[in-house]
């Protein structure tokens, strides 16, 4: 998948070719981009996961905000849509006109920042039905706010392109609020169609409440997305036997070091914020223990803080994980794709 700088370079090259009169070459480049959408994934018997945002609030050129795409049974879901995530979804060649629903884990800004773009751009791509947005209690308020913020934009587009191409009803997200109650291990099936079952369950991201994760089951395969959480017994219970666990991770030692350096630079506010984050996230070692205790086959780390973007950072980030989990461990990257064939 092209990175953002490479995509910008390609656009610049296209403009140069067009301006220089190389029309055929420019048409070829444009045509290649227009044919990039991979609709075959909707017909695949696989349960497919695409990491569309493995970053965090720490700025990173190569990672968008939290977002995981799951495709199965002809359905396309996005779990969270953090800032910049929609661009990565688009670059992953996903058939965005087929977006079935967005599943929010909680309402921190780094998980909902691109909700408006996900609604608008999937509508522009050809989605003709209202977009369902599932989440815990509070999702109605969030979706209502985005509807209000984008109301003028929706009106402009319908007027400009016409109801036939931009049906007004499809430009409006519809919230589905799921109340799980006070039981820390509570869960509920939020979607069931075409052999796919999606289950929401509580996790522990206190003081952020409610916070949830999601499990996808399809043709004998299963994927669990943790959302933001510290080590959660509910997550372990609902991830039992999963093929893939996509789990957030924060490296406490590295964040403690970030805080120490920030203080030396006189940035006490940043230092406090960095230390505050440690208490309600999961360390890589604890994520490995969760994967072990749940008996999952593969652990994929995402929403990594700070982002491990070089050999040294990756080594520091995974410190303490050795010997805990015997399955496969992957440090996620934007655009990474995992396909799970059906199990008879």
**Domains defined for the chain, CATH in brackets:** 41-340 (3.60.15.10)
Length, in residues, of the chain: 344
Asked whether residue 1 carries a pLDDT value surpassing 50, the answer given is no
80-135 pLDDT, tens per residue? 999 999 999 999 999 999 999 999 999 999 999 999 999 999 999 999 999 999 99
The residues, ordered by sequence, that sit 6+ positions from 170 with a Cβ below 8 Å of its Cβ are 123, 127, 128, 129, 130, 131
Which segments of 165-237 are extended strands (E)?
173-178, 187-193, 196-202, 212-218, 221-225
CA dist., res. 166 & res. 311, Å (int): 47
> Catalytic one among 80, 90, 110, 228?
110
Query: 287: closest CA among 256, 258, 327?
Result: 327
Report whether 104 contacts 135 (CB < 8 A): yes
Interval 272-318: pLDDT, tens: 999 999 999 999 999 999 999 999 999 999 999 999 999 999 999 99
Q: What is the pLDDT of residue 167?
A: 96
Rounded distance, CA 174 to CA 236, Å? 31
Q: What pLDDT sits at residue 2?
A: 44
pLDDT at 11 over 70: no
Q: Are 232 and 203 in contact (CB under 8 A)?
A: yes
Predicted TM-score (pTM) above 0.85: yes
Whether residue 177 is predicted with pLDDT greater than 60 in this model: the reply is yes
Output the average pLDDT for the chain. 92
Question: What tens digit of pLDDT does each residue of 54-79 get?
Answer: 999 888 999 999 999 999 999 999 99
Residue 255's CB is within 10 A of a number of other CB atoms, namely 21
Burial (CB count within 10 angstroms: exposed 0-12, middle 13-18, buried 19+), residue 279 = exposed
Give the angle 327-329-335 at the CA atoms, nearest 5°.
135
Beta-bridged to residue 300, according to DSSP, are 246, 330
pLDDT tier for residue 6 given thresholds of 50, 70 and 90: low
∠ CA 262-112-249, nearest 5°, is 50
DSSP string across 222-265:
EEEE--S-SS-HHHHHHTTT-SEEEEEEE-HHHHHHHHHHHHHT
Band (344; pLDDT cuts 50, 70, 90): low
Count Cβ atoms below 10 Å from residue 207 Cβ, excluding itself.
6
* Band of residue 22 on the pLDDT scale cut at 50, 70, 90: low
Pairing state of beta strands 196-202 and 187-193? antiparallel
Residue 110 annotated in active site: yes
Query: How is 20-87 classified by DSSP, letter by letter?
Result: TT-HHHHHHHHHHHHT---THHHH-SSEEEEEEE---SS--TT-PSSEEEEEETTEEEEE---TTHHH
């Amino acid at each position: 998948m092209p990175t953002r700088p490479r995509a910008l370079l390609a656009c610049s090259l296209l403009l140069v070719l067009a301006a220089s009169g190389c029309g055929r070459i420019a048409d070829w480049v444009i045509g290649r981009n227009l044919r990039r959408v991979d609709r075959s994934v909707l017909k695949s018997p696989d349960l497919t996961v695409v990491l569309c945002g493995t970053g965090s609030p720490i700025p990173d050129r190569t990672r968008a905000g939290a977002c995981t795409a799951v495709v199965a049974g002809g359905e396309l879901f996005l779990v969270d849509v953090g800032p910049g995530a929609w661009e990565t979804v688009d670059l992953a060649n996903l058939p965005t006109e087929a977006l079935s629903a967005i599943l929010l884990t909680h309402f921190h800004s780094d998980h909902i920042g691109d909700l408006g773009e996900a609604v608008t751009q999937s509508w522009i791509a050809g989605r003709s039905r209202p977009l369902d947005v599932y989440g815990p209690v509070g999702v109605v308020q969030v979706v209502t706010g985005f509807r209000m913020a984008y109301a003028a934009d929706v009106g402009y587009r319908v007027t400009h392109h016409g109801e036939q191409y931009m049906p007004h009803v499809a430009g409006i997200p519809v919230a589905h609020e799921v109340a799980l109650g006070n039981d820390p291990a509570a869960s509920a099936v939020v979607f069931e169609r075409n052999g796919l079952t999606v289950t929401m369950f509580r996790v522990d991201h206190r003081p952020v409440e409610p916070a949830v994760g999601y499990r996808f089951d399809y043709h004998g395969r299963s994927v669990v997305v943790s959302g933001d959480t510290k080590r959660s017994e509910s997550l372990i219970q609902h991830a039992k036997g999963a093929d893939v666990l996509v789990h957030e991770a924060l490296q406490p030692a590295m964040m403690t070091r970030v805080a120490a350096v920030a203080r030396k630079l006189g940035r006490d506010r940043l230092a406090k914020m960095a230390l505050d984050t440690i208490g309600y996230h999961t360390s890589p070692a604890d994520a490995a223990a969760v994967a072990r205790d749940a008996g999952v086959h593969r652990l994929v780390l995402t929403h990594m803080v700070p982002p491990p973007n070089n050999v040294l950072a990756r080594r520091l980030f995974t410190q303490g994980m050795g010997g805990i989990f015997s399955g496969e461990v992957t440090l996620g990257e934007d655009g990474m794709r995992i396909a799970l064939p059906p199990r008879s």
